[in-house]
Amino acid sequence: MTVSPNSSSPDPKSLWKGQDMTPQILTPDMLESRSRRLDKRIRNRNRFEYLAGGIVIIASLLLGAWLLLGGPVGQPDLMVGGGFIALAIGALVSMLQLRRKTGGTTFPDGAQSSVNSYRAELVRQRDALRSVFGWYIAPFLPGFLLIYGASFLDSSAVLWAVLLPAMVTVAFLVWVVWANRRAAACIDEEIAALDRET
Amino acid sequence: MADQTSRETLYRTIAREQGEAIARLAAAYEKDAVLRQDLEQDIHMHLWRSLKNFAEQCSLATWTFRVAHNVCARHVDKAVRARPAGAWIDIDDVEPADGRATPEQATGTALTLERLYALIGRLRPIDRQVVLLYLEDVDAAGIAEISGLSPGAVATRIHRIKALLAQGFQSEAVA
C-alpha cells in the first residue's frame, strides 16, 4: 500500500490531536479501588502458584513416604521412594526460584527514562527465560533420574513401558528449554535494538 | 514524596492537561475498544500509584509520558515475546512513496488516521513512542528526556517521521 502526497491533507499533528477522544478521568476513589484490585490479582496469582507447587510437593512426599515406609523395601522401592522425595525438594527449589526470578512485580515509574525502564524489564525477563534449565528443570532431574533409573534396573520391567514415559519426559523438558530460549532470543533482539539507539 | 492531597492535585493536573493525550496513546497501542478502555484506566491507575514517588525529579509532563508509555510497553510486551525475530519494522525501513507517483496514486490517496494507526502499530515500541510524542507536539529535547534515546537518535527519527508524514509512506518494510 502506498500513500502519496496530497496537498489537501491536513497537518498530521492537527489530524492526530484533533481526534474525537473522550478521556476517562477517574476519581481518587476509583483509582484506589483499581489499584487494590491489581494488588489482589497479584496476591491471588502468587497464591495460585504456591498452591500448585504445594500440591506437587505434598503428593510427591506422600508417594515417597508410602514407598519407603509402607513395608519391606528393596533397592527399586528405595530408589523410587527417594526419587519422589527428590522431586518434592526439586519442586520446592523450583517454586522458590520462580518467585525470585519472576516475582517482586515492579510498577512503572516516571523517574527513569522509558528506554531504561523498558530495558531493565526486558533484561529481567530474558535472563529468567534463558536460564530456565538451571532454575526450573535441573531441580527436578535428580528425582526423575532416580525414578526412571529404578525402572531400568528392574529386570522384570518391560523395556518400552519404561522407555516411553522417560522419552516423553525428556522431550517435554527439551521443549520447555527450547521454547524459553526462543522467547529469550526475541527479547534479546529487542534489547540490542535499544542499545544501538542510546 | 507526595502526600495524599498533593497527589490528588497532581493527578487532577495530569488529567486536565494530558487526559486526551493519554486516551490517544491508549488508542495507538490497543485496537480493541474494550481493551483500550481498560488500558487507558490502567495508565491512570499506574500514574496515580507512581505519584507517591514524584518529587519533581523531572517535569510532571515528562513523568506522565514516561509512566504512560511504560504501561503501554508492558501491554504489548507479550506481543514482543510472541513475535518471531524481525517481525517489528524499524522506522528506517518504512519507505516514503515515490514522488513521481502515478496519477491514480496521487489523486486517490491521503494520509488517513487509519493508515497512521496501522503504521504506528507495526513499529518497535521505542519508535512508536517517538512518533506518538512527535504527534503530541513534544519537542526533540523533550522526546529525548522522556524516552532516554540520544538526541542524535531522536533527531534522526524525527527527520524520518517528518519525511514519512510529508510524503506518505508504504506499509511494507523493505527487506
pLDDT digits (tens, 9 = 90+) for B35-71: 999 999 999 999 999 999 998 889 999 999 999 998 9
Give the span between the Cα atoms of B143 and B23, in whole angstroms: 19
Coil, helix or strand at residue A159: helix
> What local confidence, expressed as pLDDT, does residue A122 receive?
84
Torsion sign across C-alpha atoms A122, A125, A128, A133:
negative
DSSP symbol at A2: B
Are B113 and A16 within 8 A, CB to CB? yes
Whether A114 and chain B come into contact, CB under 8 Å, resolves to yes
Are A84 and A63 within 8 A, CB to CB? yes
CA distance A106 to A38: 12
Rg of chain B (C-alpha set) = 18
Q: Where are the domains of chain A?
A: 33-103+112-197
- CATH second-level architecture of B4-75? Orthogonal Bundle (1.10)
Q: How far apart, in whole angstroms, are the C-alpha atoms of residue A103 and residue B174? A: 40
Contact A88, A122 (CB under 8 A): no
Is the distance from CB of A130 to CB of A180 less than 8 angstroms? Answer: yes
Residue numbers in B near A38 (CB within 8 A): 45
Which residues in B lie closer than 8 A to residue A32 (C-beta atoms)? 48
In the DSSP assignment, the letter for residue A70 is: S
Low-confidence ranges of chain A (pLDDT < 50): 1-7
Q: Counting one residue from A and one from B, how many pairs have CB atoms under 8 Å apart?
A: 196
Q: Which CATH architecture has domain B85-173?
A: Orthogonal Bundle (1.10)
Closest CA to B18 of B70, B66, B64: B64
Q: Where are the domains of chain B?
A: 4-75, 85-173
Which residue in B46, B115, B125 is closest to A118 by CB distance? B125
Please provide residue B170's backbone torsions phi and psi, each rounded to the nearest 5 degrees.
Answer: -95, 145
The backbone region for A29, taken as left when phi is positive above 0, alpha when psi lies in -120 to 50, beta otherwise, is alpha
Per-run averaged pLDDT (10 residues), chain B, 175 residues: 83 94 92 90 94 91 93 74 55 56 42 77 83 93 92 90 70 41
pLDDT for the residue A38: 86
Q: In chain A, what is the straight-line distance between the N-terminal and C-terminal CA atoms, in Å?
A: 32
Res B110: pLDDT: 47
Give contacts of B153 with chain A, Cβ < 8 Å: 197-198
Chain position carrying cell 512508536: B128
Inter-chain residue contact A3 with B169, CB threshold 8 Å: yes
pLDDT at B86: 53
Handedness of CA A89, A92, A96, A99 (dihedral sign): positive
Chain-chain contact of A112 with B49 (C-beta, under 8 angstroms): no
ipTM of the complex: 0.76
* Contact status of A75 with chain B (Cβ, < 8 Å): no
